[in-house]
Every structure is written in C-alpha cells, then in structure tokens.
Amino acid sequence: MSIMNSRLLILGLDGGTFDVLLPWMQKGLLPNLGKIYDEGVSGPLRTILPPITAPAWTSFYTGKNPGKHGIFEFLVKRENSYQEIAVNSTFCKSKTLWDYLAEENKKVAVLNVPMTYPPQKVNGVMICDFLSQAEKRDFTYPPQLLTEVEDRFGPYYLYPRVSDFTVPYSEKNVDALIDDCVKMSEYKFRVAHYLMEKDSYDVVVFHELGTDRMQHWLWNVIDPSHPRHTKELEQKFYGKVLDFYQRVDEQIGKTLQLAGPDCSVFIMSDHGLGPVNRSIDLNTWLLQEGYITLKKSFASRARYLLWKCGVTYQNIYAVCEKLLRLGLKPKTGSPGEFLKQWHKMLNQSPLLSLNDIDWTKTRAYAKTSVIGQIIINLKGREPQGTVTPGEDYNQLVAEMVQKLKQLHDPGEGTHIKGLVYTGQEAYRGPYISKAPDIIYLPQTGCYQSGSLVPFGSNTPFVNFAGQRGAHTMDGIFMARGREIKRGAKVSGASIIDVAPTALHLMGCKVPSDMDGKVLEDIFEEAFLRQRPVEFFEAVKETEEAQSAMSPEEEKTVMERLRNLGYID
C-alpha cells in the first residue's frame, strides 16, 4: 500500500446512537450510513463524564479529558460565587485538533461544532455553533465569510427557531420541531457543500444538531418500549422522524460525493441517547438527607412551606401542560415566545431555590443540569465552604457515594442501581478543582438524575416533565477509507481517541499530552507499517484570558440553552 496525501471528513451526528440508526441501516433505509457501516469499521464511542454536549465536543477536538481542557459543563461558577455563567471557547485551556493541523499546513473547514464560539484563527474557515451571538455577526473566520454565505443562502440558520420545550404539549409543536430540524440541517449542509466546491480542504469537520433534538423530544415516538409511547403517536409521527434521518443520510451522501473517493470519513457522536420517564431531583434528595440546610428567614420559611404543600416547578409545569393540551395557546402563537414568558413567570414566582440555601450550614448541593452532579461545599474552594479538605471531605464523599448506590424509588418499587463516580476517579489534570465532586448516572429503567430547576419537586422521584430521551455514555463511531479495514468492529474507543486518530491518519505526530490513543485497530496493517504512530513532546500551554460575556450576551446564551432543554 503506497501512502498518498490523506484527506478526512468528520461528520458529527449529535446524540447519535446505534439503537436508533442500526435498525434503519440494516433495513436499507439509510443507505449512505449503511454503506459506511458495511464497508468500514464501526463500534460504540464512549464519551466523557458528564455525558453533556459542551465537555464532550471539547474533549473530541482536544483529545483530552475535561481535567486538562477545563470545560465540564455549559455553565461554570463565577469566581467567589455560587452563581453560574455560560462558558465559551475561550474557557478551553488546550490546543485543538485544528491548531495541530495548522502547524502541519493542513487546511480545515470547521462547521457548526459546539464550543467553538468565539471563533479562532484557523488555516481555513470556521463557522461557530448555536451558542454564538447572532446579533454580533462575529461567528465566522474569516469575518467576511458570513456576508459571503448569507448573500447566497440568506440569514445563517445559527440556532433553532422554535422552542423545543413546547414539543410535548401539542402535535402542532411536534410538526414545528421536525420542520425546523429539516430546514436547519439542509441549510447547513448547503453551506458546507458550497465551501467544499469553492475550495479544497484537507480536513472538514461538520456538526449536525437535529439528531440530538429529535431523540430528546421524540424518543417516545420511535421506541415502542417507552412508557409514553402510543400507537397514535407512532402512526402520526414515526414516518416524519424517519424522513428527517433519511434527509440527513441523503445529505451525507452528497457530502461524500463532493469529498471524493480518496477522502476518508469518520462518523461520530458526542454521546448516545436513551429513554427517560422518571427524574431524580438531587437537591431535594440532599435536603431530605440533611446535606442542605435552608435559611431561617421569613421569606425562605414561607417558600419552603409552599414547596411542601405542592407549590413546585414540577406542578406548575404539569398545569401548563394540561392547559395547553386543552387548547390554550400563547398570545403570540409562538412556542419560543411562550417559553420566554413561562420562564419569566417562574423566575418571578415565590418558589424555593438555591437562593434559600444557608451556605454556612450546607455540606453539598447539586448543579442544575441534565446529568446528576454533586458539589461539596468545600472550604477554600467555595465562597462559604463548610467541609474541611482531607479526611472530612473523603468521608463525606464516600458516605454519599454509598447512599447513591442504594437509591430506591418508592413510587416505582425500583432499586435504581446507578453508576457513581468521584471527580478524582473521573478526571486528571490541572483543572480538576473545577470538576463536580460526584457524578451520578442511573442505570435501571428510564431515569434521569439531573434536574433543570433546583427543588423542582418536593419529592426526589417524579415522572419527568419534558424530554423523552436522555444522554447515555455510548455514542457511535464509524470510519471508512483507503487505509481503513473493511467490515471490522472496533471496541474500547473513546471520544478522546478521535483527535489523535485523525492526526495520525493525516500524517501528523500526536502530542504527548493528549489522553486519547490512536485507534490503530481500525487501520490496515500495511498502512501502520508504513506510517507508525509517532509522538512529540507537547509544550506546556500558557493560560489565556477568558472572554467574559456582557450581561446581555449571557442572557441570550442562557435563553438558548433553556430552549434546548440543557438548563432551567
């Protein structure tokens, strides 16, 4: 085998899972993905902890665990505060895949990849992700690229134009979600094809968001085992969901044609998805177990009494859902505007929140997140820490880990059998102090351990209101190309392996500080003999300043994360 100049196409299907894709591929319903699966290598792609979009995609493009790149979530605490702010690309403390490719004079097109805003200078082009500031018009590199694209294709379809949160309320909203996913996907593929026809790139990285949105909100449509699946839903929407995936598959086929037969392709996802129907409110559990203490003020006592009597986010959500199902519509008729008004109402209501916590007597609390993450109120790290580092900290963590492993849902009579990880076990690197102290992932039934609002219910276990699908640890990996084996399976692959594997395929040495490994098992032996894996000693990186958002910018990003269901 003679080694030619390699080119690579990386297609990221956000939330992609073989549980959904493989049956359709095997039936010939997704012929382009199916051909890659049959002619290349494939296997599960283990993601990082927590399995959330922001740290997962950052781990993909750095080849490192969050302890080395510094991004653990969409939100990070302000210094000396319990308040959280949204992160962006400047919070990443590591070089990226495209940085290393540029050093080898490889030209790249990085398109729509999460956690790339604000854009960095690349050897090629970059269009940033759905958390960009559209009104600032600064989400492309070079800057003039945006005008060039919009002159041909109209305003850039930067982020969803409907509110996903309203999907469960009416069939009209289901149709709106599907239509929005189709339009957004086709727009972005058209832009990618234009750029690929206009110029030649060594590596193209493209991100598709619609697969994640469809599975989050319509898992009960495609999965007959989901507790909220009905034949009526299946008959009305299964075909439309499949049609979206077939459109994506068709666009993938066009992209492969443009890339040419000599271009290798990786298909990957940042995490998987699976069914969700029950939620574990960890802050309510922590309060119940005595790890959280509330303030004794009149206002906090009043909010607590209302909460005990059932005045909770969960019950308000249920009332809104019933009213909408009965035909009540937002004044504007816009799902997005309804969500904005709904959140405004919640923020102004006298409900129990983290503001009611007495931090001087609290030992632990949970982040408001789609994944269960517990933070110990540690002295010297937290503004009003109460737990002493060392033996006290270790004993508390061990105690809570044991309790979480024994969690039992009395309403369902279920022992949840969750996987529990400590931050020390899950991460390594200079930024481990920013990590959650405990990560909890339920493994039994349709449970999600995160809560999008603090003290959302007055019992730890409730039927989950909102999304029908939740993140899981195993995404997808498929690869095809001249140097790649045919019809083989790969095991033990991790999302942090993709960047070093891409660098090796492109003839680049791998930096020694990457945590990921080159997936040598995917390559033909002749290729590995002629191109053995080589490393170079990475230079210690200097910490660059983070770019803080203005209050208005932060408000916009937080609203966008709410619309997608990532935060309250």
Comparing 164-173, 455-464, 531-540, which segment has the lowest mean pLDDT?
Answer: 164-173
53-62 vs 498-505: helix crossing angle, rounded to 10 = 30
Mean pLDDT of 285-292: 97
Q: Residue range 30-52: average pLDDT?
A: 97
> Mean pLDDT across the stretch 16-22?
98
- Looking at the DSSP bridge assignments, the partners of residue 278 are 447, 463
On whether the CB atoms of residues 495 and 59 are closer than 8 A, the answer is yes
**pLDDT above 70 for 561:** no
Nearest to 451 by CA among 353, 543, 355: 353
pLDDT at 490 over 90: yes
Output DSSP code: residue 375.
E
Q: What is the mean pLDDT of the segment spanning 217-234? A: 94
Give the per-residue pLDDT at 465. Answer: 76
State how far the Cα of 45 lies from the Cα of 258, in Å rounded to an integer: 26
* Orientation of helix 335-348 relative to helix 551-564, angle to 10°: 110
Residues 278 and 464: beta-carbon distance below 8 Å? yes
Q: Is 406 helix (H, G, I), strand (E, B) or coil?
A: coil
Phi, psi dihedral angles at 562 (to 5 degrees): -65, -45
Rounded Cα distance between 310 and 340, Å, is: 24
Task: Report whether CATH 3.40.720.10 matches the domain 7-273+472-564.
Answer: yes
Mean pLDDT of the chain: 89
Does 169 or 522 have the greater pLDDT score?
522
Sequence-ordered strand ranges (E) for 174-326: 203-208, 263-268, 272-275, 278-280
Residue 67's nearest CA partner among 45, 86, 49 is 49
Mean pLDDT of 158-170: 81
DSSP string, 111-156: ES-TT-PSP---SEEEE--TTS-GGGT--EESTTHHHHHHHHH-S-
Interacting residues of 475 by C-beta distance below 8 A, sequence separation 6+:
15, 16, 17, 44, 45, 46, 47, 268, 269, 270, 271, 272, 495
**Distant-in-sequence, close-in-space partners of 447: CB < 8 Å, separation ≥ 6:** 276, 277, 278, 279, 280, 409, 416, 418
Comparing 134 with 215, the larger pLDDT belongs to 215
What is the distance between the alpha carbons of residues 30 and 28, in angstroms, rounded to a whole number? 6
Dihedral (Cα; 519, 525, 530, 536), 10-degree rounding: 20
Structure-token match 């930096």, residue found: 511
Report residue 194 as tokens.
């234009």
Q: Count CB neighbours of 102 within 10 A.
A: 18
pTM of the entire predicted model? 0.91
The residue ranges of every structural domain in the chain are 7-273+472-564, 278-312+351-463
Is-contact 421 253, C-beta < 8 A? no
* Of 519, 367, 387, 358, nearest in space to 453 by CA: 367
Distance between CA atoms of residues 520 and 492, nearest Å: 12
Mean pLDDT of 19-45: 98
- Predicted confidence band of residue 35 (pLDDT cuts 50, 70, 90): very high
Give residue-wise pLDDT tens across range 395-408.
999 999 999 999 99
| Tokens standing for residue 470 | 């939740």
- Size (the chain), residues: 568
Largest interatomic CA distance in the chain = 78
Q: How far from 93 is each of 52, 172, 431, CA to CA, in Å?
A: 18, 43, 9
